[in-house]
Chain A
């Protein structure tokens, strides 16, 4: 068995119903767990972008991405390892106001973790932290041990490549050439 790495799969698709199902079927068939998922419009109008992370080996991710890529409504699918990406996650934590006040060291906690406070009520406080998985996890562990966490949620990864524009732009240019070639033939 090859070693398992965390891969980020980026899929550009037409904005059509049922795309997520088509993509997840391909992960299912290879028994891959989707670690995180986020979907949003891309910088290109009318084109949606899925960002999916999964642990697997290089051989498998290559085949999975090729099989996603070949679906008719998918414009292009890519995979990357962490070093090729700029990426971020966001996490929200709800803790008890009483417990937090008793902690004493709120200022250093907030400075140290770069926490944003979103809401304070008599009962609870909601923290927001952006960062890498390990960073948001560290804050979770620390809070859980000291005062307990009432609710926690972490977003899927959002990622941007180190290339200048959406990689799809190259692909779209190529497609445009094919379209021209075809219309000349016709």
Chain B
């Protein structure tokens, strides 16, 4: 091993290079100046994107990680810089996104004294990180960085925080780097029990009406192919969670759509009809299950997951298959008999037709009157032959975009699923563009969420990030209004927005833009948007009274699906 003497701040970059980091999203400040000083000597190897707010650095790191499968990195100063990242960290925790947030911290001698810009970052972030660690000596930097990257991306991924004291940055240390491959208190890939594999195969082989639920775990494990092989061999219809979208092509005949509160009718109804429910890399969130007491009670439940604490957490299971699904799923597939479940698969069709007639026609195919969000999404999806990456914000725009976009490649949806973070879209899309420069990135947001991180237009300007922003403007906090309309007697408390001229804002940042008010203008505007690789803002003024259907009211039976306003 080579040993070299250097400052901690340089050891940090040498460590990051050893982890193959080439992109960092960050914002400087007093307690991280030594690191930024060292960065000045690394700009040939590290692309630092100067964001406009630290929350965006964290979300951008998330977007980068989600499309590339690599670890996203954010670099910020202590105190307010660090606390600004917490929303992004919590978001990454909920959605298992591997990011490492490196924050400056006051010198160890000042710790605990309420020094200027001192925040107990480790204390504050412990509940929302996989690991958070304070580095107090320069010689600990390589060790801590190496652990951080190992922990962030192994097992069930998640965010890691490194709280880097100023003296660790400025002090001198002997640098040598060793990649972490083992931590004795941490077993990221538990051994797979062969007996359990046999039991799983036995249950699936005996199933008459099997149904598979695919979560983001499949994407995180790079197990898309393995899962597809299992479905095809035993002829099992499947649906994905919101986070699992794009793990299997929208066009695959066994893909029956999306689960959950605003999922497709078929998958939600069939959940309570199947005889074996095969959950793969998903966590039975309340947005998927609705009322647990009536959820899939008739079925045997098999749960494939890498995290022991997820198995049986929300839904009681017949069998938990613990381990990396990239290995466990093919082990089960090997033991499966080739099967046909044609009648069972056919039984999804009437439900698909019903949803098509009641929802899809109105929203997309035969939309009338003011522009509907769904028809816009269908068109942008088509514009790239369904090969683009969709990044969404939160609200109606998110659900409609996720529903009507088509996915033919994995890692094509970046959305804030678990935390539901408004303002996620713009910065996450920037990160996604840096993580997958050759792909088209659509950033779909609402007028509310867009304004939560609108400052990032500055980052897009400065770093020339060519994302295509589609602002679905209903001049409402639409999703909250939808709940007020359905469940709170139309008492529209503070969900109307008086909005600025979004196009003028884009002009100010030198971002090419268009506004669309009529259906006939959509195609031309999209063609204009797709003309080059540069950033573009497409403002679409939609109907004001957007309602997203189908909808299963929170906490209701999964089969209690509303298809239109009057159907309750």
Spell out A's residues near B (CB within 8 Å). Answer: 13-14, 17-18, 21-22, 25, 29, 62-63, 66-67, 69-70, 72-75, 172, 175, 178-179, 182-183, 186
Contact = CB atoms under 8 A, between A and B. Distances in A.
Contact of A70 (B134, B181, B307, B312): B307
Given A22-B126, A72-B130, A63 B313 contact: yes
Interface in B128-187: 130-131, 134, 151, 181-187
A21 B184 CA distance: 21
Contact of B127 (A25, A66, A186): A25
Chain A CB count within 10 A is highest, among B127, B183, B309, B313, for B309
A175 B184 contact: yes
B500 interface: no
For the complex of A and B, the 8 pairs showing the least CB-CB separation, nearest first, are A66-B309, A75-B185, A72-B131, A72-B186, A25-B127, A70-B309, A67-B309, A175-B184
B185 A14 contact: yes
A182 B182 CA distance: 8
Contact of A72 (B183, B191, B307): B183
B462 interface: no
A18 B186 CA distance: 17
A182 B127 CA distance: 30
Contact of B185 (A13, A18, A62, A186): A13
Nearest to B156: A70
A73 B130 CA distance: 10
Contacts of B123: 18, 21
A73 B308 contact: no
Interface of B: 122-123, 126-127, 130-131, 134, 151, 181-187, 191, 307-309, 312-313
B181 A175 contact: no
Nearest to B191: A178
Contacts of A13: 185
A45 B126 CA distance: 26
Contact of B184 (A18, A22, A63, A179): A179
A54 B309 CA distance: 19
Contacts of A22: 126
A75 B186 CA distance: 7
A55 to B, nearest CB: 21
B212 to A, nearest CB: 24
Chain A CB count within 10 A is highest, among B182, B185, B186, for B185
A70 B182 contact: no
Contacts of B308: 66, 69-70
B215 to A, nearest CB: 18
B185 A73 contact: yes
A179 B182 contact: yes
Contact of A182 (B126, B181, B185, B309): B181
A13 B184 CA distance: 10
A21 B126 contact: yes
Nearest to B190: A178
Contacts of B186: 72-73
Given A74-B185, A75-B185, A18 B309 contact: no
Contacts of B307: 70
A176 B312 CA distance: 28
A179 B182 CA distance: 7
Nearest to B122: A18
B182 A18 contact: no
Contacts of A63: 309, 312-313
A25 B122 CA distance: 13
Nearest to A18: B122
A72 B123 CA distance: 16
Given A21-B126, A179-B184, A72 B151 contact: yes
B122 A175 contact: no
